[in-house]
Amino acid sequence: MRSKFRKLQGPPKAAKHGKTLARLVVVLAAFCLAPVLYAQQSSSDDTETISPVPILSAGLAYNSFFQGGTQHVHPLVSPVVLIPLGQNWLVESRDTFEIDLAPDPVTGNYKGALQKEVDYLQLDYIASPYMTVTVGRFLTPFGIFNERLYPVWIRDLQTDPLILPIATGPSGAGTGAMLRGGFDAKPGIEINYAAYFSTTSTDTPLDSQRMAGMRAGIFLPGPRLEFGGSFQHLLQDDRSNAFGFHAAWQPSALPFDIRAEYARSHTGSGYWVESAYRLSQAPMWHSALKHVQVVGRMQQYFTGVVPDDNLPPVNTHMFEFGLNYYFRDDLRFVSSYGRQFAPQTNMNVWNVGLTYRFALPVGHGDIR
C-alpha cells in the first residue's frame, strides 16, 4: 500500500527535495564548522591524554510475558560495538537479535522466528565542542525513549510505550546524515539539539523511511530538569508531519525520576508518563530495599486518520506497575503488571525477566 502510494506521487519531487536537502546539509555543515575549527585546534589539552580503546558491550534480556493469558518467552541479545578513531571520530553500532516464542495453537509447542535488526551503524565526527556530524544508520531522534531509554538494561519497564512507533516507525532508525550536539547557553542552562535527514531503505534489516526532522531540548543541571520538542516531516507517502514533546526530572535529593512524552502524527497521538523510585533511602531493611526500584507508567493512545500496523488499531490506554531488583548495577530482576483497556480487548500483561549488560575492552589502548 505504501510503496504503491510512493510510486504514484513520490519520485520526481522526492529526488528534487533530496538534492536540495543534501546541499542544505553540506552548506550548513561547512558554515557551522568554520568558526570553531580554530578553537578546536587550540583547545587541545591534557584532558585528551587517555587513549580510548574499542569496546564490545551488550545488553541481554530474558523476559516472559503473559499477554491476555498467552505466554510469550522473549530472549534478546543486543551487542554494541564502539570503535574510537583518533581524537574526534567514533564508529558505533548496535544490533538486536530477538525471538518471540509463543505456543503453537495446534501443537502447543513454543515457536518463533529470529528477528534481526541493525539499530544503528554510524560514523561520528566530533567537529567542534558543540557539534557532532553523524552519517550512516542512526536511531531517529524523536522524543527521548527511542534514542536514550530503549536498551533493555536501561528501561525500567520492559514493554514499549504504545506511542513509540509514532515518527520512529517500525525500525526506529533512519539512514542518512545528522548534526547534533549540546552546549552551555549560560551557566545552569544547557541546550541540546539534533537535526537529521534520512533516505528510504527497504533492505531488511536496514529499512528506513525518507524523512527529515529535528529535536531540541533544554537541560537544567541544577534542578535536573529537561524538556524539549521534536518535529519530523515525512518525505514520502503522504508527506505528513509529526511532532512531540518530552520532559524528564530527577530531583537530586531523592532517588526518584519522572519522564513523559507526547507524540502526534497522522497515524495517531498519545502520551506516556513514567515514574521510578529506588528505595535506597528506606528507613527500614535498608540493605535489602536499597536494591529495589518501584516503577509506574500511565499511557494513552488515540488512533489517527491513517492506520499503522505498528500501532494499536483502536483507542487504548494502559497502566503498569513494576518492581525491579538490582543485584548489581548491570544485573537485575525485572517484573511488572499492566492492565490494558481497549474496546472489547481489555487484558492483563504480566512480565518477569532478567536483564544484564557487560562491557569489555577490545584490543590495546595506550596513554599518550
Ranges within 222-251 binding other proteins (CB under 8 A): 224, 226, 231, 233, 241, 248, 250
Name the residue nearer to other proteins (CB basis): 36 or 101.
36
Size of site (CB under 8 A) for other proteins: 72
**Binding residue for other proteins (CB under 8 A) from 278, 304, 311, 338?**
278
Which cell goes with 92?
558505533
* Amino acid, single-letter form, for residue 122: Q
288-327: contacts with other proteins (CB under 8 A): 326
Q: Does 137 bind other proteins (CB under 8 A)?
A: no
**Binding residue for other proteins (CB under 8 A) from 14, 60, 73, 90?**
90
CB 290 within 8 A of CB 277: no
**Binding residue for other proteins (CB under 8 A) from 98, 117, 119, 124?**
124
Q: Which stretch binds other proteins (CB under 8 A): 142-150, 262-270, 295-303, 345-353?
A: 142-150
8-67: contacts with other proteins (CB under 8 A): 24, 28, 31-32, 35-36, 38-39, 42-43, 45, 47, 50-55
The minimum distance between CB 361 and other proteins, in angstroms, equals 5
Q: Which stretch binds other proteins (CB under 8 A): 98-106, 128-136, 163-171, 301-309?
A: 128-136
160-179: contacts with other proteins (CB under 8 A): 179
**Binding residue for other proteins (CB under 8 A) from 15, 26, 154, 254?**
154
Name the residue nearer to other proteins (CB basis): 193 or 350.
193
Name the residue nearer to other proteins (CB basis): 307 or 361.
361
Q: Does 191 bind other proteins (CB under 8 A)?
A: yes
